[in-house]
Amino acid sequence: MTYAIEAQPLWRPNPNSVGDTGMAIFMQASGYGRYADLWQWSVGEPEAFWSKLWDFTGVIGEKGTKILVDREKMPGADWFPEARLNYAENLLRYRDESEALVFRGEDKVERRLSRTGLYAEVARFQQFLIASGVCEGDRVAAYLPNLPETLIAMLATTALGAIWSSASPDFGVQGVLDRFGQIEPKVLLCVDGYWYNGKPVDCLGKNAEVVAQMPSLVKTVVVPYLAERPEIGGIANALSWQDLPAVDAKKEVVFRRLPFAHPLFIMFSSGTTGVPKCIVHCHGGVLLQHLKEHLLHSDVRRGDRLFYFTTCGWMMWNWLVSGLAAGATLLLYDGSPFAAGGTVLFDYAAAEKMTHFGTSAKFIDAAAKLGLTPGKTHDLAALRAMFSTGSPLSPEGFDWVYREIKQDILLASISGGTDIVSCFVLGNPVLPVYRGEIQCRGLGMAVDVFDEAGMPVRSEKGELVCTRPFPVMPVGFWNDADGAKYRAAYFERFADVWCHGDFSELTAHDGMIIYGRSDATLNPGGVRIGTAEIYRQVEQLPEVLESLVIGQDWPPGRNDDVRVVLFVKLQDGHLLDAVLIDRIKQQIRANTTPRHVPAKVVQVADIPRTKSGKIVELAVRNVVHAQPVKNVEALANPEALEHFRGRAELAD
């Protein structure tokens, strides 16, 4: 089953203003009047495109004369081999009294920092790093919420040429050690605690345990959030953020200009199938890709107010903070997205005149279920774009945004991943938005969809691939000297082609539909079904809050076939009875195919998810088949797995 292709778009660019967008200006400067032609040039002549992009976005640094060496190697292409630049220098390019960031906490704490103030704070923390012996290539790790101090520390670290890595404070001790233990940081930042759903969560005990088991640490810095003066005596070699040495107000930040491929970030895979992979991204690749995505695809302009709801353990935090290079003011938030009766993020948007609102598809689904009507209850006049990622946004999610938020808005469903700390497919201010579709393939990204035989297909489901190198490919995995793990992760399925692991379809509009992760795809009777197709139908029913679907080996113990099993979390006050089961099955059958209809529908109290909010079909499948889940520390609510263990309903 595929989604019906809509003849009419939900939104079209305003012809009176579209020419002012970054994308339109870049198209004109490049000599192209149609996006399709611009994209074809960008992937067909990558040297010309990426060189032009460097100049157009005003990258600070030396470009060199060579743009791409070994362009056919995948992996192995060498981008800008003569270049010297620094990511942080480009983010701190503006030094004036305009706002660099606004921070709001769930506990109503609010802080503001100008660009001049941010620069001074970065200089101060950088001097501490230098005094602590942090050098080029050393690692600095943060176990922090989305606070201003997190951004300050990242900029100070990367300006020096040291490598930054972060995780959110809701990770347990083992989850942090599984990540940071592999990369052996010299300095760790942590927080005394944080707020969530109206409750303070103390972190000092966890911090002490983590530090005690990380012998590489020289210093630990504790950022106060719950208390002005937290008790940090139990943490070895620790000092409080307030006790960092003062520096001269005129102190300059040291920016070390580095090779294009110098490591910048170490990101971590979700880790639900084993110890997380440590994915290394570089200064030049991240900077160029994020400038492209912000200035062109998202139309972020100097003075815009950019928000994404994210923790520091999700790649969207890295994507968000790069908005400084575009001249945007960052709107940071820490806490539950449904505080204040579910309206806290829209309260923030109205109060701060937010121009770009980023969130997850699950948030949009939940807001619709809550009956929120922010377009009526909040002043969202400044809002020009809304981003959605984390899982596929259903056509009904598109409908809700245009019905209940704003009719004149660019709704950019985007998709990529931690693997590239950016997007393969995303929004575009010069193209229409069609219901249920991601607008376009990113510039410079040779994205295609392959069938099982490795042949490109159109308007058919297949594997999302990228057939040519791009600058933000990882430079490798940490502790993978021969690159074997890296190649196995992306290049084993199709020779010399990046296979991303998304079950997808290129549409007649040259847009993209994502049907779910390929490794979670159902295969009853040998027919591949994307899980998003089932979620879309089930979650339209008012009784269903959320759902998760797996393929159960059937008969048990054999690999002959699978049957579809659907788990549902219901709204309070509802129970799963024969009538509701029949309605669920009828909804799926009427709008998909008989193969999509689950053999079993089972009620559960909760659905397990990763720290970034993604449901984990594979972990549930392992539990149902009495197989181990290798890294429960990657889950935000690992206790939810117990709802799926030994279910009598699945034995017949």
CB 404 within 8 A of CB 375: yes
Model pLDDT for residues 37-48, shown as the tens digit of each residue: 999 999 999 999
Do the domain assignments include residue 64? no
Give the pLDDT mean for 478-493: 94
Q: Which helix (H) or strand (E) holds 587?
A: helix 578-591
The per-residue pLDDT for 339 is 87
Task: Tell me, yes or no, whether 119 lies in a domain.
Answer: yes
**pLDDT of the residue at 629:** 87
Identify whether 382 is part of a domain: no
Residue 1: pLDDT over 50: no
pLDDT tens digits, 85-113: 999 999 999 999 999 999 999 877 899 99
Q: Is the dihedral of CA 547, 553, 555, 557 positive or negative?
A: negative
**pLDDT-based confidence at residue 274 (cuts at 50, 70, 90):** low
Q: What is the mean pLDDT of residues 146-175?
A: 95
pTM: 0.90
Among 255, 281, 302, give the residue marking a domain's end.
255
In whole angstroms, what is the distance from residue 144 CA to residue 141 CA?
9
Amino acid letter, 9: P
Q: Among residues 276, 141, 158, which one has the least CA distance to residue 218?
A: 141
- Whether 190 has a pLDDT exceeding 70, the answer reads yes
Residue 88's nearest CA partner among 57, 36, 126 is 126
Over range 328-351, report the average pLDDT.
94
> What is d(CA 276, CA 294) in angstroms, rounded to the nearest whole number?
28
- Domain membership of residue 94 (yes or no) is no
What is the reported pLDDT for 484? Answer: 94
Residue 455's CB: how many other CB atoms inside 10 A?
A: 10
Q: Are 601 and 584 in contact (CB under 8 A)?
A: yes
Place of tokens 């263990």: 645
| DSSP H/E element including 465 | strand 461-466
**Mean pLDDT score of the chain, rounded to an integer?**
94
Q: Give the pLDDT confidence score for residue 557 in this predicted structure.
A: 64
**Residue 223, domain member (yes or no):** yes
User: In angstroms, how far apart are the furthest CA atoms of the chain?
Assistant: 73
Q: Which residues contact 255 (CB under 8 A, 6 or more apart)?
A: 86, 88, 89, 159
The CA distance from 511 to 107, in Å, is: 41
pLDDT of residue 273: 54
254/419 Cα distance (integer angstroms): 29
Choosing from 255, 286, 305, the residue where a domain stops is: 255
Give the Cα separation of 610 and 417 in Å (integer).
Answer: 14
- CA geometry: angle 552, 553, 556, nearest 5 deg: 115
Q: Is residue 393 pLDDT above 90, yes or no?
A: yes
pLDDT at 421 over 50: yes
Taking alpha carbons only, the member of 183, 241, 171 closest to residue 209 is: 171
Place of tokens 């743009």: 67
Residue 558 has pLDDT above 70, yes or no: no
Query: 258-269 pLDDT, tens per residue?
Result: 999 999 999 998
Q: Is residue 292 part of a domain?
A: no
Given a cut of 90, is residue 35 above it in pLDDT?
Answer: yes
The tokens for 51 are 């060189």
Percent of the chain at pLDDT above 90?
83
pLDDT of residue 63: 98
Round to whole Å and give the CA distance between 470 and 451. Answer: 22
278: nearest Cα among 415, 167, 157: 167
- pLDDT of residue 272 exceeding 70: no
* pLDDT per residue as tens digits for the range 288-306: 999 999 999 999 999 999 9
For residue 134, the domain's CATH number is 3.40.50.980
Taking 90 as the threshold, does the pLDDT of residue 271 lie above it?
no
Q: How large is the average pLDDT for residues 606-621? A: 88
Angle at 516 between CA 515 and CA 521, to 5 degrees: 100
Query: Count of domains in the chain?
Result: 2
Residue 556 sits in a domain whose CATH number is 3.30.300.30
Place of tokens 């923790």: 311
For residues 499-513, average pLDDT: 95
Residue 646 confidence (pLDDT) above 50: yes
Q: Are 387 and 423 in contact (CB under 8 A)?
A: no
For residue 47, which phi and psi values (nearest 5 degrees)?
-60, -45
Q: Is residue 302 domain-resident?
A: no
Q: Where are the alpha helices (DSSP H) in 292-394?
A: 315-321, 344-351, 361-369, 374-377
Is residue 5 pLDDT above 60, yes or no? Answer: no
Residue 633 predicted with pLDDT over 80: no
DSSP assignment, residue 380? -
Pairing mode of beta strands 278-282, 305-308: unpaired
Identify the H or E element spanning 52.
Answer: helix 46-56
Neighbours of 36 (CB within 10 A): 12
- Give the amino acid at 600: K
Range of the domain at 178: 108-255
Q: Is residue 67's pLDDT more than 70?
A: yes
Mean per-residue pLDDT for 339-362?
94
pLDDT value at position 6? 67
Within a domain: residue 362?
A: no
State both tokens at 110: 């609010």
DSSP 255-278: ---EETTSEEEEEE---TTSSPPE
Least confident span in 288-302, 411-425, 589-603: 589-603
Cα–Cα distance, 119 to 126 (Å, whole number): 10
The domain boundary residue, chosen from 255, 289, 315: 255
Q: Are 67 and 50 in contact (CB under 8 A)?
A: yes
